[in-house]
């Protein structure tokens, strides 16, 4: 595991106030660590622990990291967690894995499983997938801590 300095794959207009990036082993332990690191990092950035949006961010990271280490895994390769605090109290989450040829698909299956991305879709303000050249992909999601206007 090592830290790295990378450019996050987000719109030019969204200059982050703070960023965090970590390479993690593509194991269940690495996925668990991704969630724990997220909880600590966003607390340091002032998102109250156990708040609705902090919990949402932790759950999203847990699901995306679990997917990276099961469906997006390549032997000997890490996955990457990146977090960025954006203007208007938005958190950008990016989970990058080396399997660019396998796109995530939201489908509810009759058997067990297939719920992770449904959860991400419900909790995130927006999410999507982008290529991570030359051969990987980034699954990203944004969570907003801003209250809707009119409340």
Residue among 105 and 149 whose Cβ is closer to Mg ion: 105
Report how far residue 121's alpha carbon sits from residue 65's, in angstroms, rounded to the nearest whole number: 15
Torsion of the alpha carbons at 118, 90, 41 and 71, rounded to the nearest 10: 30
State yes or no: residue 28 binds ligand ATP (CB under 6 A): no
One of 28, 29, 49, 102 touching ligand ATP (CB under 6 A): 102
**Taking Cα atoms as reference points, which of 87, 20, 106, 33 lies closest to residue 65?**
33
State yes or no: residue 30 binds ligand ATP (CB under 6 A): no
Judged by CB under 6 A, the stretch of 11-19, 41-49, 51-59, 64-72 that binds ligand ATP is 64-72
The residue whose Cβ lies closest to ligand ATP is 116
Rounded to a whole number of angstroms, the minimum distance from the CB of residue 26 to ligand ATP is 10
One of 100, 104, 116, 136 touching Mg ion (CB under 5 A): 116
CA angle 119, 85, 142 (to 5 degrees): 25
Chain Cα centroid distance, residue 117: 11
Report how far residue 66's alpha carbon sits from residue 59's, in angstroms, rounded to the nearest whole number: 10
Q: Of residues 66-85, which lie at the interface with ligand ATP (CB under 6 A)?
A: 67-68, 71-72
Q: CB burial class (10 A; 0-12, 13-18, 19+) of residue 82?
A: buried
Residue among 47 and 127 whose Cβ is closer to Mg ion: 127
Binding-site ranges for Mg ion (CB under 5 A): 67, 116
Residues at the contact surface with ligand ATP, assessed by CB under 6 A = 63, 67-68, 71-72, 97, 99, 102, 104-105, 113-118, 139
């Amino acid at each position: 595991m090592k830290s790295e300095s990378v450019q996050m794959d987000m719109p030019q207009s969204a200059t982050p106030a703070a960023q965090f990036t970590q390479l993690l082993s593509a194991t269940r332990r690495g996925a668990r660590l991704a969630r724990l690191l997220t909880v600590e990092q966003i607390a340091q950035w002032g998102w109250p622990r156990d708040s609705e949006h902090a919990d949402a961010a932790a759950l999203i990271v847990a699901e995306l990291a679990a997917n990276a280490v099961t469906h997006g895994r390549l032997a000997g390769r890490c996955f990457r967690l990146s977090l960025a605090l954006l203007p208007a109290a938005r958190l950008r989450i990016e989970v990058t894995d080396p399997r660019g040829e396998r796109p995530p698909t939201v489908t509810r299956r009759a058997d067990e499983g297939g719920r992770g991305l449904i959860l991400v879709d419900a909790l995130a303000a927006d999410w999507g997938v982008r290529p991570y050249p030359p051969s990987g992909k980034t699954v990203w999601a944004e969570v907003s801590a801003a209250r809707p206007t009119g409340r």
